Structure 1
Amino acid sequence: MQENEFYSLVQEDGHLESMDSAQAASEAVLATLGETLTGGQAEDVAAQLPDGLASILEDTGHDGAGYDRDQFVDRVGEHLHETNVEGDDAEQFAEAVTDAVAAALTDGEVENLKGQLDEELQPLFEDVTVDPEQI
């Protein structure tokens, strides 16, 4: 998957007005995801993402924060406050970005990723609405 394809998926699924907004939402969600993973898992996920997206995960402190769903969404909203994207829709954006991430990853890597997440976060990577065949 190319970076522009990733952002297009996020823009469509997240009902965002522009590609710039999709990029800002993606960066906020990926930074938050990076915070909740350990370094090794973040590297494994990053290896299957386009370079620009991979660097967001790689450059985040990987402290294994273990956010539950509410904490994750709140943290995405905090990251969005630094952008032109409204943080009130952070949950919608988190779902759109994680769907795109899941579509970019192999099934095995999605399972490995879910294994490191709080069980409340795991559903973000299930029932993905993006069809990888359409990418």
Structure 2
Amino acid sequence: MDFDEFTGTVQHRLELAGTGQTLRAIRAALLPLGERLPAGHAEDLAASLPMEIKWYMTGGVHEHGQRFDWPEYLTLVSDISGADRADAAYHARVVVDLVHEVVPESDFQQLRDELPESKEDWGNLFEVVDAGGWHEHS
């Protein structure tokens, strides 16, 4: 999947008005994930993404391996995107679902293994994936 297809898919699924808003949503979802993951895991996950999108998880990250929980992640996503927390959570779930469609299952599983999943925590990030993906909801 190339950059235009990735961003176009996100824009369509989130029903966003423009490319700028779409790129903010993608960056907001992926940059904090890149910060949360160890550098090698972020590289693995991002390897199959378009180069411009990969950068959000790798080159744009100042420090990998940070420890923060789901509420802190949502705050970061909201701050970066300018969206309220509910929209930020939905945007992140949709972006992560598209990442799931694009990357090898082993790399996506590595992401899941890095994030503690409980009902109140990181499991929220995978709600669309766990529900069968976007195509099940469209």
TM-score (norm 1): 0.82
Task: Please show how residues 1-135 of structure 1 align to structure 2 within 5 Å.
Answer: 1-59=1-59, 60-81=61-82, 86-88=83-85, 89-119=87-117, 120-125=121-126, 126-127=129-130, 128-130=132-134
- Kindly state the Cα deviation for residue 111 of structure 1 after the two structures are TM-superposed: 0.7
- Kindly state the Cα deviation for residue 26 of structure 1 after the two structures are TM-superposed: 0.3
Identity %: 28
| Contact 2:89–2:125 (8 Å) recurs in 1 | no
| Contact 1:38–1:63 (8 Å) recurs in 2 | yes
| Contact 1:9–1:130 (8 Å) recurs in 2 | no
Tell me, in whole angstroms, the C-alpha distance in 1 between the residues paired with 2:124 and 2:106.
16
Q: CA RMSD in A?
A: 1.8
Question: Please, which moves more after superposition, 61-70 or 44-53?
Answer: 61-70
Tell me, in whole angstroms, the C-alpha distance in 1 between the residues paired with 2:68 and 2:57.
16
Query: In structure 2, do the counterparts of structure 1 residues 49 and 90 end up closer, same or farther at CA, with 3 Å as the change threshold?
Result: same
| Contact 1:25–1:93 (8 Å) recurs in 2 | yes
Runs of 4+ off more than 6 Å: none
Partner secondary structure for residue 61 of structure 1: coil
TM-score (norm 2): 0.81
Gap runs ≥5 in structure 1: none
Q: How many pairs align?
A: 127
Letter of the structure 2 residue corresponding to residue 33 of structure 1: L
Gap runs ≥5 in structure 2: none
Letter of the structure 2 residue corresponding to residue 9 of structure 1: T
